[in-house]
Structure 1
């Protein structure tokens, strides 16, 4: 059987696409992403790893909210240049079997709602799933894969649960998702070998035109097919990053230069294994907290104590505790895009290094291969990694989707022939 044709929406740097391509069972028709560093990174990966010669054309740098141009093409746009549009690439492929992707999650995340004075109710990103709907409706794939954060399960921007709006939206264009989203669709990627506790909602929708018992098949997917891809044990942080060379600090004693602290990084042929700059105050705190954990004293493992420490050292209060040392003997805590702003919640467990994790360490926690290169600044790289779907989980999900497609296609054929 040939490969399934897929379109990736809100593609980011390509974590989800990466996993699907690793299976060898899927053909990349097109991807859509509006942030330039992510676009450049995805293009580079498709060209250098997957041999996609026309990746610069297939990765559409565009805003999905401009759907007419997205489908038909746009020309000489000041920000987005020109493209023949999605219709062109779908026509070349012949059809679309699967659409994958997930709208930006900031408006659904609990952390985002805590930080926003209006609880994110006025954020336009609450309704970006409607852009996803329009693409699915236009190309009528057999199924879709919609990924997002657990916060969407409790998000109610206009008083109506966002899950209800999403379910009704997909139903209105002829697709079913599983009835009990909370029970079936919440997945922890650490169960699939990713060295990170990262829960995500994975919604799989099936086209009603298949004329099969969709709910029965979806429950079988979530209860049998996908769980069969789980790993036998959890992978720890130390297993993921422990073999990388240490980055030991060099502190310049010149008072005028104390604001910038550099690090000594041994010769390393692995890209992006270079820590960000930290000031002397933060390095002192990082060392203290990591040593406290390593020694077994654990005086600062309590969130209240960490909040008090933050207030004492920084001089201001915070609604959430800012510091966290990653535990070497457990999967990492969830890597989020906020990492690009600071690394206070991603402190390396080795007190002698007194730093937050490097881009490459963050990438490994997200299960990106070491040959995956991020195009852009250090901040861009952290942001891309934090927003990505872990490729290892994406691969196992893609393998499960391949099995699901086989069941759906066989079931639809039997119904049709019967």
Structure 2
């Protein structure tokens, strides 16, 4: 179907570009062209610019990009070959810190340029950084005696988003944030109530109508559960859709819903085709014989710690024997292997890719390997991750509060047959909360596996060091969810245009 209209899209606080990926690849009665993406973090910005470059490549350039993703040619070479596409990517992206006066002025120059043609076809997407709103962030802040919420500028970065709405006056906007924003407060006032009010009045009194996309708005409010929409992850986020009053006037709010998927997508469907890897050893010599010895000892230690006569002890012994018979396994992959992709993964894999990018393990301390072995084997048998009360005392970490309940999920394995837990930026610090469900790999998730759970396509290459890559993936909006939001918004905007013309 030919598009009724192309909407020029401005992506704020863009991260590595999950929202932009979903919007730019949405198909329907309207299209969304990413005119400008703004991000302050250098690693995320490099990934964001690379994806913009990819979107601007012609077919021959796309093949060169695939060769880069396969590790056959360096990025510098394809940039030199396709200079025009790179210039377009640089024009479409900006590494700026919103709220910083000098950067705000630079952004305003870019926006004024976009607004020169006076076209009324803009959409704004994005979400302010969420550290101050997240439950984990608030817990950390509560432990800081010097922390003053009123002085934390991250609480008020949403005002930068609103400033851009006032300047651009888009037909629509989509704002995303963590669910903790619903309960966060400053000076006794609810942050969400303040944001809701300011968004509705962003370009003047009552200038925007705000809508929930939830399939059950009376029950969930503005909360969307990604696992209900085909994302293999239990990720719950606040999504606010704003429509300018003149656009919303002819719409029935009851029609603005994001349909549920017919079923949930499991971890196995998302990452089960990726080739087996071994964990790295963070201290001492790191090679396959050393890994085989260390992991073999870890499984023996876990088996000795398991209750006598239990199926868990027997299964740990079985895995120990399997590891001793294993042929050499690397920490990264040079091919996809032979396991066929699921229907979900078929939508993410490009047949020209010979290997999954960003699929490399990190190193683990040998003291954690027995815990990983225990956790993954326990989940294999019980269908759930173990909590602290399930841990044998000899395997428990040396935390004073281990038995208090605060660390109940300190070591959490993902389970094959259901969506994963929420992939967060904390995956960059350690992998204890993101243990791979295959016990014999005895490791945490790779960047690519985390990206799969976030529904990024395999040709979406993450740049920066590995810590940065984990942070980027954890902070992103799942593209599959973003694409569905874009489809609903496109249908609304296209329908609004038709009604206006008919009138």
Q: How high is the TM-score relative to the length of structure 2?
A: 0.72
Give the equivalent residue in structure 2 for 1:3: 6
Give the equivalent residue in structure 2 for 1:238: 268
Give the equivalent residue in structure 2 for 1:295: 381
Give the equivalent residue in structure 2 for 1:354: 442
Q: Measure, in 1, the Cα distance between the counterparts of 2:232 and 2:248.
A: 39
Q: Is the Cα contact below 8 Å between 1:150 and 1:199 reproduced in 2?
A: yes
Q: Is the Cα contact below 8 Å between 2:357 and 2:448 reproduced in 1?
A: yes
User: What is the 5 A alignment of 1:318-397?
Assistant: 319-321=406-408, 322-397=410-485
Match of 1:17 among 2, 15, 20: 20
Q: Is the Cα contact below 8 Å between 1:177 and 1:218 reproduced in 2?
A: no
Give the equivalent residue in structure 1 for 2:130: 105
Q: Measure, in 1, the Cα distance between the counterparts of 2:262 and 2:41.
A: 37
Q: Is the Cα contact below 8 Å between 1:69 and 1:85 reproduced in 2?
A: no
Compute the displacement of 1:306 (Å).
Answer: 5.5
Compute the displacement of 1:208 (Å).
Answer: 2.1
Q: Measure, in 2, the Cα distance between the counterparts of 1:246 and 1:28.
A: 37
Q: Measure, in 2, the Cα distance between the counterparts of 1:410 and 1:20.
A: 21
DSSP-derived class of the 1:31 partner: strand
Q: Cα–Cα, structure 1 residues 154 and 256, in superposed 2: closer, same or farther, change >3 Å?
A: closer
Match of 2:106 among 73, 90, 113: 73
Q: Cα–Cα, structure 1 residues 9 and 234, in superposed 2: closer, same or farther, change >3 Å?
A: same
Q: How many residues get paired?
A: 395
Give the equivalent residue in structure 1 for 2:368: 282
Compute the displacement of 1:175 (Å).
Answer: 1.5
Match of 2:225 among 179, 183, 188: 188
Give the equivalent residue in structure 2 for 1:398: 486
Q: Is the Cα contact below 8 Å between 2:280 and 2:363 reproduced in 1?
A: no
Give the equivalent residue in structure 1 for 2:209: 176
Compute the displacement of 1:115 (Å).
Answer: 1.9
Match of 1:206 among 226, 238, 243: 243
Q: Are 1:64 and 2:109 an aligned pair? A: no
Compute the displacement of 1:284 (Å).
Answer: 1.4
DSSP-derived class of the 2:367 partner: helix
- Deviation digits for residues 289-332 of structure 1 (CA, Å, limit 9, x no counterpart): 1112223397x62354459778x323443633311010000000
Give the equivalent residue in structure 2 for 1:267: 334
Query: Which sits farther off after the overlay, 86-95 or 132-141?
Result: 86-95
Match of 2:401 among 317, 329, 354: 317
Q: Which has the larger radius of gyration?
A: 2
Q: Cα–Cα, structure 1 residues 31 and 249, in superposed 2: closer, same or farther, change >3 Å?
A: closer
Query: Which sits farther off after the overlay, 261-270 or 374-383?
Result: 261-270
Query: Which sits farther off after the overlay, 194-203 or 205-214?
Result: 205-214
Where structure 1 has 5 or more consecutive residues not aligned to the other structure, the ranges are 75-82
- Deviation digits for residues 222-278 of structure 1 (CA, Å, limit 9, x no counterpart): 3xxx22xx32111100011011111134769xx954899867234332111111100
Match of 1:91 among 102, 112, 116: 116
RMSD, aligned CA: 2.9
Q: Are 1:130 and 2:217 an aligned pair? A: no
Q: Measure, in 2, the Cα distance between the counterparts of 1:241 and 1:375.
A: 21
Q: Measure, in 2, the Cα distance between the counterparts of 1:250 and 1:58.
A: 38
Compute the displacement of 1:110 (Å).
Answer: 1.2
Q: Cα–Cα, structure 1 residues 301 and 69, in superposed 2: closer, same or farther, change >3 Å?
A: closer
Give the equivalent residue in structure 2 for 1:77: none
Compute the displacement of 1:377 (Å).
Answer: 0.5
Query: Which sits farther off after the overlay, 386-395 or 241-250?
Result: 241-250
Give the equivalent residue in structure 2 for 1:79: none
Q: Measure, in 2, the Cα distance between the counterparts of 1:307 and 1:188.
A: 34
DSSP-derived class of the 1:151 partner: helix
